[in-house]
Amino acid sequence: MVILKLLPNQIARHWDVLSYAVAQTTVAGFEVTEEYLVDTAAKLISGQMQCWACYERDENKGLRIGAFIFTSIITDALTNTRNLLLAGVFVFDIKGIKVWQKGFSTLKEFGKVNDCRNIVFYTNIPDLVKLAKTFGALTEFTYGTISIT
């Protein structure tokens, strides 16, 4: 399986599928509106966010997408460090840890090239936490939200 960063024209051409993936990877309780999707599309097309496709070539079925990964380079205001945020992972079909290791090394390299210090993420999915630990992630932190609206 290969992981590739989609180009702006690919994002625009496949937005019907990608918008579904974006909507499915938002934080629980967040209302996905048309405005949010349009804003996300603009960020992906402009490069403020990135969309990565994990795929493989199948001799019988041709190109087969296994997952989309959405990232964004963010700057921590407190420490002034750049980090690569894993903003969302939408999985169709991913086989085994080796696929994730290959994808992870690509994301890590992208982060290095863009002067990022860490790959950061938040999730409430135990299997993703377990997977992140295999890459050496520190997962002892708690991320919480308190609604003020």
Question: Which of these, 65, 107, 71, lies nearest to 88 by C-alpha position?
Answer: 71
* pTM score of the predicted model: 0.85
Domain boundaries, the chain: 2-134
Q: Highest mean pLDDT range out of 63-67, 98-102, 111-115?
A: 111-115
Which numeric CATH code is attached to 2-134?
3.40.630.30
Please return the burial class of 141, using the count of CB atoms within 10 Å of its CB with bins 0-12, 13-18 and 19+: exposed
Convert the pLDDT of each residue in 128-140 to its tens digit: 777 778 778 887 7
> Residues in the chain, how many?
149
Convert the pLDDT of each residue in 17-54 to its tens digit: 999 999 988 876 678 999 999 999 999 999 999 999 98
Q: How far is CA 105 from CA 13, 30, 98, 135, in A?
A: 27, 30, 11, 10
